[in-house]
Structure formats: structure tokens, C-alpha cells
A and B are shown apart, each in its own frame.
Chain A
């Protein structure tokens, strides 16, 4: 385990220390005293485990292709931005624009997340991004979603698990929301249905992992059931235009 103390370092020095450690062959990193440092693990590749103690700053793990980041704390905005593969596991909450444009990998947040989570996530060849939110999500969850899976559990409170305009403009992928805390409305062009057996198996598999990571009882998490949100059309704008 290679340890870096972020205290007194600005983000550029911290990230350059991380890059040096990785270039030097480190595969396990422990970061302490992280206090909103931006761009941690941005663009890093390959088998690498990072334990982050403190608050991860904006763009944590952006473009990342492979590493696993465990955050003992909260993360700010734009975590997992345009991420390709790997894991971001957060024991606390996440800010806005979580996982924007990601096309693979997983983001697991124990607590709540802000607005614009999972906007335009998509499934690359042989990939399928997974986003699991233990608490609630803000407005515009899964806007423009083109592929992948989002699961919102709404644990710990009776608040609505998703905000306004959930899935608006989505044209692929699925969003599953805890049935008990689903507010009953979703964005334009979204179909609300019940998950089928295949979906339930997918949810159960993901929840088993989520519950294992955060010490939860998977059966209790699953007991309320889920609603499924999918796009009405794969080609929402296919017939809007006429060649001039």
C-alpha cells in the first residue's frame, strides 16, 4: 500500500504524486486528508485500487479506465465523468452530475446524490455502466440516457427517491426505482412498468454487491420491489425532420 498525505498539497501536486506512484508501479494507493482536491485519478488506467479518506473533489475518476476508488467520505460534483471502466464506491453522498456520459464501469453511492446524475450514460460494446444510489437522487436523473442501468434505493428516508424529469429524453437503458419511494411521475417519453424476471435477476445481482460493500441486508433492500423506467422509443427524434 502506497500512502499519500494530501494535507498541504494543492490538487496539481497531489495528482502528480499519484501519477508518479502509478508510473512507479504502485497498484494500491491510500490517500489521506483529501479535502476537495479535484481530478483525483482522472484518466488513470489499469488495475489500481485507491482508498480515499476525506472528501473527493470535483471530477473524481474522470475518463478513468479500470481503477477502483473507495471513498471513505463524500464526493463533490462530476465524479466518474465520462468514465470507461472501473469502480467508484462512496460511503457517503455525491454531488451533482455524477457519472456524466459514462460508458462503462460502476458507481455505487451509499447515500444521496445531487441533480443531473447519470446524464447521457451509454453502453459501449460489451460494456454496461451501472449506477446504484442508496439514498435519493435529484432532478434530471438519467436524462438523455442511452444505455446501462441505474438503480435508486431510497434507503433511510421516506422522501421521493427521484426528482422531477427523471429519464427525460432517454433513448436506451433502464432505471429501476424503489417502488415504495417512487414519486409516481417521470420525465416526458418515459414508460413506467414493472421489472420482469430478467430485470429482477439483474437488480438482485447488483444489490447483493451493493449490500455486501456497505454492510446492508440485501433482502431488506429488495423487499419493497421496484418500478422500471424505460424509453418510449429507441429513436425519439427519428421522424421529426424532413429533408429540405
Chain B
């Protein structure tokens, strides 16, 4: 059968510049570049190219260009080249379309429709370069306002202490390389925030950074032992992920090499399948049971977080989670990243985190329990402005996953599931993984956090505030641009000019 699938990229090679050194051949795990067996010249097989730009960066003479495939189908507003190519792929193979990274459609990014305030004349702004600026954030359960009504009020509530309200999101060892874990873990240590192991256990080489590790317990229960629970600063139960609400995870056997298998406690080469639900959780009461089993296992010394994907009834679900005993609620919006997700689920299931956050914050306030739990959001947080807006909409902190990987060198080729990441990020192939030097990775991740810290301080100073606490849930600092009345109402903000 003639395959109808077409190349997405084409390789431009300037033969006046190419010296035939073969760096591109060595670098490309997708085997796009190869030497012609007859005349040794360097050639390319465009259809294998994923557009990761590794060869372009490393070509010593600047001879390469990777550009979008110029040959398109005839223009049509509905039946675009992408739509046609997807149908061709499925009629070629009969497969479920699989993709890496988050939501890819250019839907409205509501962060960009929300604008922050600044002080003018009255309530003067503060210069963060000269004045102290407090970004410190505590995550964990707080005592209820009326202690008498609480059935469960131990004297001390364990807290996570962050110097910047930005944490590294869950990405498991196996889906990403150990060098990614090392880079993010060390950056979290030095910048005094937290990194998340994801569902893949804690590799012995990153155990040194356990004081800043959030250990995840997901439906596959991979790598979960009393030692693992004890090592984390916090335990996160993963119910759902923004990129794939309602479905499970699946690390293909190719990525389950010796070390990954050991850390996950499964035989090498076998698939690591995380079922869609936790089979011991069919209700809020069951969730409560899992939360308290983890608290019992760690003698109530660690906060327990519960992460869900942002879905339609997110507010009611979060209320249940808070009442079930979750100390930290994590909401992952539909733009959240992923190492491998069915494309249709990724793009068409779940809701934007901006609305989920606003709805949850409001609901918990209405029920009088917002002050008792911490709220963390994730799913497409791109920069410090998104962070500031999320905090003003009611978040205590955010998780960044994709942004952190981009800081380490990810070029968004969205082929994480192949295990052939040329940047050494989403791979466990030792030849590829060593391309990410963990010392340099640490520095890059630290740089990102430092830069965002400065920018957050600038935002705060501009609003005349000297602590992030003053911005938290402070919707008066937000205005909506080009939003409908209903959208403004749900977000709980006024329109620009109001």
C-alpha cells in the first residue's frame, strides 16, 4: 500500500558550506542524515525528521536549515494540511494518534487576556532592586479558622517552604533521563523550591536531593516503598494529568531499560502501564483512605498533595479532595505536558487551568475552607507573568514542566514517546542522555528560576506590594481584555477600564 503520510519538515543543506564532517549523521537519533554508501556524501531522508533542530545547532559550518515542508495541500479553512495528514496517518496504520507535549491547537490563552495592575501616584510602587521583596510561600494544611469545628486538628501541620512559588512538575525517570532529574533536583535545592519524581521511583543518584523532592504515587504504584515515601518532603497522589484526563499512562518497554526497571520495580523490557483509575479509589471516601494510609505510613510528618486534571466539575471535586484530607490540591490544566498522550485526548479533553483555578478558589472560599489547603496549578505556565496572574487568581504556587524542559534545551518536537530525544531529555538511551550535562542543566534551570524571581519582584513592586502574599487571590490586581461577560464572571475579574 502506498503510504500517504508526508514529511513535516525538509532539510536544506548548503553544499557550499557543508564540509561533510558527519556531525549531523552522528547526532540524529531519527537517522535523517546518512552517508551515501557510494560516494560518502551526506544526504537526508526528510520524512524521518521531527524538527528538533539539533543538527542545525551543531553543524559547525551553519550549512543546515530545517524548515516546514513547503509542499502543502490546496488551501482550505477546515481541511488543513494537518487534518489531512492525520487522516492519512490513521488510514495508513489504523493506530491511535500519539503525541508528546501538551495541547497543540492555538486556542485562546486566557493568561494573555488578563492584565496586571501597577501603582501610579497613590500607593507608590516599590523598587525591588533596593527594597526587600518577599516571595516565600508555605504549602500545606493550615489550621481552620474555627478550631472547635475541626475533627482533625493536630498541633503541627507539616509545610513545604518555597523561596519562589514555582516548582518543577512531575516527570518520571524513564520518561525523562536521569540527567533531567539531576538538573531539576539540584536547581530546586539551590533555589529552595521543590522537584517532583513523577511516577517512576527515586533513582539512588538523586536521593541526595530528597529533602526537596515531592514523591509521586500514581495508579501503577511504580517504585512505591516505605523508604520512597519516607524520603520525599511531600507525597503527591496523581489522579489525573491535564494532557490526558481520564486515561492511564503507558511507558513503552523500549524505555524500560535496566535502571528504569530497577527504580520502578518491574522486569526490564516490559511495558509500565499505569491504569486509568487507581483501583482502590472509586469515591472521595476511598481517596481519603489512600491519603490517610500515606499519612499513617509517614507518621503525619509530610503533607499529602492530590493532583487532578482540570475537568468540568473541578470545583466540586477539589472541595471533596480538601475534605478528604489532601493538604495541597494540584490542578493541571488542559495545556499540561506529557511524554506520550493520544492526540485527541490531549487536544479535546479537559479545560483551561485559568478557569479551573478561578472556579476552585471561589468554591473553596464560599465553603469557608480555602484557608485550610494550598492550591497549586500547572498546565502551560510559560513565564513569570503567567505565575503572577495565577497567584492573583488564587493559586499558592505553580508547577512548571514544559518550561523547565525548554530551559534544559527542549525544542518542542513533540516526539518524546519515541525515546529518541536528540537533546538528551526524553530518553533513557545513554548515548543520547549524556548530551544533557547535568551541571549545565542545573545552571540553566537555576537561571530560569532566578530570572523569574526578579520579574515577580518587579511585578509586585510595581503594584506597591512587598510580599507575594499580598497578591495571592487578589483579583483586584487583574483586568480582562476581550473577554465575554460570562468569562469575566467565572474568572471573578473586571474588564479593562472598569
A interface, CB within 8 angstroms of B = 11-12, 15-16, 19, 38-39, 42-45, 58-59, 62-65, 77-78, 81-82, 84, 97, 100-101, 103-104, 116, 119-120, 122-125, 127, 143-144, 146-147, 169, 171-172, 234-244
> Quick check: B342 and A146 within 8 Å, CB to CB?
no
User: In the complex, which residues of chain B have a beta carbon less than 8 angstroms from the beta carbon of A101?
Assistant: 220-221, 224
- Cα distance A222–B224 when bound, in Å? 35
> Quick check: B266 and A146 within 8 Å, CB to CB?
yes
- Cα distance A15–B280 when bound, in Å? 21
- Cα distance A225–B112 when bound, in Å? 68
Report the minimum CB–CB distance from A34 to chain B (whole Å).
15
> Quick check: A97 and B280 within 8 Å, CB to CB?
yes
> Quick check: B98 and A244 within 8 Å, CB to CB?
yes
Report the minimum CB–CB distance from A180 to chain B (whole Å).
29
**Given A63-B225, A244-B89, does the pair A147, B95 have CB atoms closer than 8 Å?**
no
> Quick check: B418 and A243 within 8 Å, CB to CB?
yes
* CB-CB contacts below 8 Å: B406-423 with A: 415, 417-418
B interface, CB within 8 angstroms of A = 86, 89-90, 92-99, 217, 219-221, 224-227, 229-230, 250, 252-253, 261-262, 265-267, 270-271, 273, 275, 279-280, 289, 292-293, 296-299, 342-343, 415, 417-418
- Cα distance A100–B275 when bound, in Å? 12
> Quick check: A63 and B297 within 8 Å, CB to CB?
yes
- Cα distance A217–B16 when bound, in Å? 85
- Cα distance A241–B97 when bound, in Å? 6
Report the minimum CB–CB distance from A6 to chain B (whole Å).
15
**Given A43-B229, A238-B252, does the pair A125, B265 have CB atoms closer than 8 Å?**
yes
Report the minimum CB–CB distance from B2 to chain A (whole Å).
17
- Cα distance A104–B280 when bound, in Å? 18
**Given A125-B265, A241-B96, A243-B415, does the pair A120, B279 have CB atoms closer than 8 Å?**
yes
User: In the complex, which residues of chain B have a beta carbon less than 8 angstroms from the beta carbon of A240?
Assistant: 95-96
Which residue from chain A places its CB closest to the CB of B299 in the assembled complex?
A19
> Quick check: B270 and A43 within 8 Å, CB to CB?
no
**Given A124-B265, A172-B267, does the pair A244, B226 have CB atoms closer than 8 Å?**
no
User: In the complex, which residues of chain A have a beta carbon less than 8 angstroms from the beta carbon of B220?
Assistant: 101, 120
> Quick check: A59 and B289 within 8 Å, CB to CB?
yes
> Quick check: B271 and A43 within 8 Å, CB to CB?
no
> Quick check: A124 and B266 within 8 Å, CB to CB?
yes
Which residue from chain B places its CB closest to the CB of A234 in the assembled complex?
B270
User: In the complex, which residues of chain B have a beta carbon less than 8 angstroms from the beta carbon of A119?
Assistant: 275, 279
> Quick check: B226 and A242 within 8 Å, CB to CB?
no
- Cα distance A147–B272 when bound, in Å? 11
Which residue from chain A places its CB closest to the CB of B218 in the assembled complex?
A101
> Quick check: B293 and A144 within 8 Å, CB to CB?
no
User: In the complex, which residues of chain A have a beta carbon less than 8 angstroms from the beta carbon of B417?
Assistant: 241, 243
> Quick check: B221 and A120 within 8 Å, CB to CB?
yes
Q: Which 10 A-B pairs have the closest CB atoms?
A: A43-B297, A242-B95, A124-B265, A101-B221, A241-B98, A39-B296, A244-B97, A242-B93, A43-B226, A59-B293
Which residue from chain B places its CB closest to the CB of A172 in the assembled complex?
B270
**Given A78-B289, A144-B273, does the pair A235, B253 have CB atoms closer than 8 Å?**
yes
Q: Between A and B, how many residue pairs show CB distances below 8 Å?
A: 145
- Choose from A78, A81, A100, A127 the contact partner of B265 (Cβ within 8 Å): A127
Report the minimum CB–CB distance from B231 to chain A (whole Å).
12
- Choose from A16, A58, A63, A234 the contact partner of B224 (Cβ within 8 Å): A63
**Given A39-B293, A124-B265, does the pair A82, B252 have CB atoms closer than 8 Å?**
no
**Given A82-B221, A240-B96, does the pair A122, B280 have CB atoms closer than 8 Å?**
no
Instruction: Show 12 A/B contacts (Cβ-Cβ < 8 Å), sorted by A.
Output: A42-B296, A59-B293, A63-B229, A78-B293, A82-B224, A84-B226, A144-B273, A147-B270, A172-B270, A235-B252, A238-B253, A242-B98
> Quick check: A243 and B271 within 8 Å, CB to CB?
no
User: In the complex, which residues of chain A have a beta carbon less than 8 angstroms from the beta carbon of B265?
Assistant: 84, 103-104, 122, 124-125, 127
> Quick check: B271 and A235 within 8 Å, CB to CB?
yes
Report the minimum CB–CB distance from A213 to chain B (whole Å).
25
Q: Is the interface of A mostly helix, strand, loop or mixed?
A: loop
Q: A100-B280, A235-B271 are in contact. List 14 more A-B contacts (CB 8 A).
A: A11-B296, A38-B292, A43-B296, A45-B226, A62-B293, A62-B297, A65-B227, A104-B265, A120-B275, A124-B265, A125-B267, A241-B342, A243-B98, A244-B89
> Quick check: A244 and B297 within 8 Å, CB to CB?
no
**Given A65-B227, A101-B220, A244-B98, does the pair A238, B271 have CB atoms closer than 8 Å?**
yes
- Cα distance A103–B92 when bound, in Å? 39
User: In the complex, which residues of chain B have a beta carbon less than 8 angstroms from the beta carbon of A242?
Assistant: 89-90, 92-98
Interface centre among B99, B293, B342, B343 (most CB of A within 10 A): B293
- Cα distance A38–B86 when bound, in Å? 51
User: In the complex, which residues of chain A have a beta carbon less than 8 angstroms from the beta carbon of B299?
Assistant: 16, 19
User: In the complex, which residues of chain B have a beta carbon less than 8 angstroms from the beta carbon of A235?
Assistant: 252-253, 270-271
**Given A19-B299, A43-B297, does the pair A38, B289 have CB atoms closer than 8 Å?**
yes
Report the minimum CB–CB distance from A177 to chain B (whole Å).
21
User: In the complex, which residues of chain B have a beta carbon less than 8 angstroms from the beta carbon of A125?
Assistant: 261-262, 265, 267
- Cα distance A119–B279 when bound, in Å? 7
User: In the complex, which residues of chain A have a beta carbon less than 8 angstroms from the beta carbon of B224?
Assistant: 63, 82, 101
Which residue from chain A places its CB closest to the CB of B343 in the assembled complex?
A244
Interface centre among A123, A146, A239 (most CB of B within 10 A): A146
- Cα distance A12–B279 when bound, in Å? 25
**Given A143-B279, A238-B253, does the pair A42, B297 have CB atoms closer than 8 Å?**
yes
- Cα distance A239–B418 when bound, in Å? 13
Which residue from chain B places its CB closest to the CB of A236 in the assembled complex?
B271
- Choose from B95, B252, B293 the contact partner of A81 (Cβ within 8 Å): B293
User: In the complex, which residues of chain B have a beta carbon less than 8 angstroms from the beta carbon of A44?
Assistant: 226
> Quick check: B95 and A43 within 8 Å, CB to CB?
no
> Quick check: B293 and A42 within 8 Å, CB to CB?
yes
Interface centre among B94, B97, B265 (most CB of A within 10 A): B265
- Cα distance A236–B271 when bound, in Å? 9
> Quick check: B273 and A171 within 8 Å, CB to CB?
yes
> Quick check: A63 and B293 within 8 Å, CB to CB?
yes
- Cα distance A243–B265 when bound, in Å? 28
- Cα distance A45–B228 when bound, in Å? 12
Which residue from chain B places its CB closest to the CB of A11 in the assembled complex?
B296
- Cα distance A19–B118 when bound, in Å? 54
- Choose from B252, B262, B270, B289 the contact partner of A171 (Cβ within 8 Å): B270
User: In the complex, which residues of chain B have a beta carbon less than 8 angstroms from the beta carbon of A143?
Assistant: 275, 279
> Quick check: A146 and B270 within 8 Å, CB to CB?
yes
Which residue from chain B places its CB closest to the CB of A125 in the assembled complex?
B262
Interface centre among A63, A119, A127 (most CB of B within 10 A): A63
> Quick check: A65 and B226 within 8 Å, CB to CB?
yes
User: In the complex, which residues of chain A have a beta carbon less than 8 angstroms from the beta carbon of B93?
Assistant: 242
- Cα distance A124–B266 when bound, in Å? 5
